[in-house]
Structure 1
Amino acid sequence: MHTIKTALLSYGMSGSVFHAPFIDLHPGFELTGSWERSKKLIQKDYPTVASYPSFESILNDASIELVIVNTPTGTHYNFTKKVLEAGKHAVVEKAFTITAAEAIELEALAKERNLKLAVFQNRRWDSDFKTVKKIVKSGVLGEIVEVTFSYEAYLPKLNTKAHLEEPSPAAGLIRDRGPHMIDQALSLFGYPRALFADLAIVRTNSQVNDYFELILYYEDKRVRLKGGFLAREMAPSYIVHGKEGSFLKSRADKQEDRLLAGEKPNTDNWCEEPESEWGILHAERDGKAFRERVPSERGNYLDFFEGVYQAIVNNQIEPVTAAEGVQTMKLIEAAIESADTGCVVKL
C-alpha cells in the first residue's frame, strides 16, 4: 500500500480533533507532523512526529505529499496556493476561501499542476445528514417540495477566538457554519436558480453576523438554511416535506463530542446515535399512512480521508471537489449581496 506522508498547518482544535486522529488511523497515511508557531503540542499526542518550525520547512520537505490547510479562513488562499505551487496535494478546511474568485483560481491551479484539492466539508459524513440523505434518495417522501436545515445552539457569549468575533472579510456565522449547511444542501439538491438571505447581529456586543437565514430557490422546491446562537430550545435540525411524506431529524452526530473527549475513532461502533435521536418518518406504505422511527446511519469522518486517499493514489474524484467549494463560495457571496440589498439574487 502506498503511504501518503501528510502534514498539518495547525494543531489546535481542528488539527487535534478533526484531522490527526483519522490520518493516524488510516493505514494509507503517515502523519509527519504539524507546523506549530508557539505551543508545541503535537508530540504529546504523537511522539514520533515532527513539530515544524515554519511553513517553509513543510514546503521544502520533498517527502510530504499532502498538506492539510487548517488555519483560519483568511489564510486559506495564500497557504493553499503555496502548497500547490510546491507540488503537493491539499485538503482545505471550510470556509474554502474568502471569495469565489480565490476559490476558482485555486481550482484552476490544482488542475494545471495535476494535483488533488479537496475541501474538508466533514458534515457530509455526520450520522444525521447521512440518514436524511438516505431517506430523500429512497423516494419514500415522493417529490420533495420544502426543506429546512438548521444549525443552531445556545451560545450567547462571544467566542474567545478573536478571528471569529472581530470584523473581517473572513468572519461571521455565514462563513463559519454557513459552509456546512450550504454544502449539505448542494450535495443533496444541486445548485439553485436563485437565493434570498437575511443576516443579522443578535448577541449582545457582537460585531459580526451571528444569525442567518437563506432561502434557496429551485424549480420544484424551496430549501431554507438557518443558523444562530440563541436557540436554548431547538426544533428538529432537518425537516423534509415531500408530496407523500415528511421526515424530521435532530442534529445528533456524536463524533465531535467523542473526539473532544479524547476518544479515538477506532471502535466498531463509531459512531452510533442513541435510539432517542432516531428520526421520525411519516409517510404512506401500500396506501396506508404510517409514522415510525428510523434508525440512524453511522457517521464516520474516516470516509472523507479514504476518499482523499483514493483520489491521490488511484486518481479518483476528491470526496469534496474544489468545484463544489467554488459553488459554496458563490452562494455565500450571493447571500451577503442579498442581505445588503434586500433582494433575491439570481444565480
Structure 2
Amino acid sequence: MASKNWKVGIVGYGSSAKIFHIPFIQALPEYTLHAIVQRTPRVGNDAAKEHPDVKCFPCLDEMLKETTVDMIVISTPVESHYSLTKSALFAQKHANEADELIALANQQHRLLSVFHNRRWDADFVTLKQLLVSRTLGLVTNYETCFEFSDPRRSVQNSADPMNTVSQIKAIYDLGTHLLDQAIHIFGLPQRVTGHLGAELKGNDSSECSNIFTVLMHYDNGLLVTAKAGTISSKEKPLRFLVTGDKGGFKKFYFDIQKEHLLAGKSPRDNGFGEEPLERYGELVSETGVLATKESGGSAIEKSIATVEPPTWAEYYRKLARALSGREPVPVSGSEARDIIQIIELAIISSQLKETVEIP
C-alpha cells in the first residue's frame, strides 16, 4: 500500500485524548485529525470550539457514517473499549484495543493496535539500552513503580476503596503499562502473585486510592515487581530499581512528557521530553560492585544520562508505517491480550492469596 496521509477519528475527548493522543497525531505529517466524538461538550471542554476545522459528532455511530475516516482511536474509559472497538471493526475502520477483537480484526482485514505508549518513555528506553548491552549483566530483580504523594493523583480514587470492582479498575489503569514494559523486555513469566488493596491517608475516606502489587516469577531466577499506589513518603518517587550480577540501575521521577504537555509544550518543540540533569538515573557499574565485594568499599554510583527520547510520537510513526504495509503494528492485539491474561491471573492470585501458574 502506498504511503498516504491518514485521516484519524478520536472517540472520547477527555484528558487521555487531549494529552496522550491528539498532540502526537498533530505533530506528525502522516496524519490529519479529521473527526472527534464528544458525547457532552461543556464550557471550557468543547472539541468543536477547540478544533474548528475538525468534524465533531455526539456518538460513534454518527462518526462511522463518515467514510473518509481511515483510523479510529478509542480514548474512552477502559470499560467501554470492547464495545466501541467492536463497533469500529464491524464498520470497516482501523481501531485501538482488545482480546477476541484480534480474530474479528483479522476477519475484517483491519489492523488492531493498542496504545502502550510508555514503551517510548525516555527512562524506559534508557533502561532497555542498558539491558540490551548487558551493562547490568544477568538481571535478577526488576522493580517498576508508579507512586504519588498526592491522593488526588491516585491510580483510581474511590469513595469505597475496598470495593473489588474499583480495585480491578486500578490494575487495568497504570498496571497495563508497567506490565507491558516488563513483558516487552523479558517475555511472559511462569508464575504470578498479585495483591489488590486500598490505602488510606488519615481518616478521610475521600483520600483513598486503590493499589496493586504484581510479582512475576521467571524460571531463570528473575523476579519482576510492578506496583502502583498513591501515598509515598519519598520526596522523589521511585520509578525503576533493577539489579544484575554486573551492576544496577536506579531511577526516580516519572517520564517528563506529560509534564511538558500539561505546561503547554508541543511534541514539535525543541527539547520536548528531554529530562534535566537532576532527573538522570544512577548506575552502579561492575567496578562498583567488585569494590563492594572484595575491598569492603562503598558501591560507586554514577549518574547516567537519559537518552534523547523518541517520545510517544514513535508509536504513531510506527503505526503509519504499518498502515502503509511496511512493518507490523507497534503493539499488536496479541501482545495486549498477554497483559490482560497476567492481570486476570493477578486478580485470581489476590483473591486466593496464593501464587498461580501461567497456563
Query: 1:235 Cα shift?
Result: 5.0
- Asked if structure 2 preserves the Cα contact closer than 8 Å seen for 1:202 and 1:210, the reply is yes
**AA aligned opposite 1:28:** E
For residue 172 of structure 1, give the secondary structure of its aligned residue in structure 2.
helix
What secondary structure is seen at the aligned counterpart in 1 of 2:265?
coil
Contact in 1 for aligned 2:260/2:272 (Cα 8 Å): no
1:135 maps to what in 2? 130
Larger radius of gyration: 2
Residue equivalent to 1:217: 217
**Separation in 2, partners of 1:330, 1:13:** 27
Equivalences for residues 145-294 of structure 1 within 5 A = 145-157=140-152, 169=165, 172-203=169-200, 204-205=204-205, 210-220=210-220, 221-233=222-234, 234=236, 236-284=238-286, 291-294=301-304
Q: Is the 8 A contact 2:195 2:349 kept in 1?
A: yes
Q: CA deviation at 1:156?
A: 2.6
Cα deviation digits, residues 268-295 of structure 1 (max 9, x gap): 3221101111111111269976532111
How far, CA to CA, are the matches of 2:71 and 2:191 in structure 1? 36
Deviation of 1:208 after TM superposition, in Å, equals: 8.7
Alpha-carbon shift at residue 200 of structure 1 (Å):
0.9
Match of 1:303 among 314, 318, 332: 314
Contact 1:4/1:30 (<8 A) preserved: yes
Alpha-carbon displacement from aligned partner over 1:21-42 (angstroms, at most 9, x marks no partner): 1111211111012111111622
Instruction: Name the counterpart of 2:112.
Output: 117
8 Å contact kept, 1:74–1:169: no
Distance 1:168 1:58 in 2: 35
Query: CA offsets, 1:158-204, max 9 Å, x none?
Result: 87998997857575321111111011111111100000011111125
Provide the aligned C-alpha RMSD in A: 2.5
In structure 1, the partner of 2:50 is 45
Cα distance in structure 2, aligned partners of 1:286 and 1:264: 40
Indicate whether 1:56 and 2:57 are aligned. no
Structure-2 change in CA distance of 1:84 and 1:163 (3 Å) = farther
User: Which amino acid is the alignment partner of residue 47 of structure 2?
Assistant: I
d(CA) in 2 for partners of 1:325, 1:165 = 29
**Cα pair 2:209 2:230 within 8 Å, conserved:** no
> Deviation at 1:324?
0.7
Of all paired residues, the percent bearing the same amino acid is 29
CA distance in 2, matches of 1:200, 1:272: 35
After superposition, the Cα gap between the structure-2 partners of 1:164 and 1:151, relative to the gap in structure 1 and judged at 3 Å, is: farther
Amino acid at match of 2:52: P
Distance in 1 separating the partners of 2:147 and 2:135: 27
Q: Deviations over 1:136-159 (max 9, x none)?
A: 111011111111111110233587
TM-score normalised by the chain length of structure 1: 0.90
Q: Equivalent residue for 2:25?
A: 23
- Gaps of at least 5 residues in structure 1 are 93-102
Structure 1 330/244 Cα, relative in aligned 2: closer, same or farther at 3 Å?
same
TM-score calculated relative to the size of structure 2: 0.87
Kept in 2, the 8 Å contact 1:238–1:251? The answer is no
- Counterpart in the other structure of 1:97: none
Q: Kindly indicate whether the alpha-carbon contact (under 8 Å) linking 2:239 and 2:252 is maintained by their aligned counterparts in 1.
A: yes
Partner of 1:6: 8
Distance 1:155 1:286 in 2: 36
- Find the aligned partners of 1:245 and 1:161 in 2 and give their Cα distance: 35
The equivalent of 1:99 in structure 2 is: none
Aligned residues of 1:11 and 1:42 also touching (Cα < 8 A) = yes
- CA deviation vs aligned residue, 1:243-268 (integer Å, no higher than 9, x gap): 11111112332111111222211023
Q: For residue 343 of structure 2, what is the amino acid of its counterpart?
A: I
Whole-angstrom CA distance in 1 between matches of 2:237 and 2:285: 20
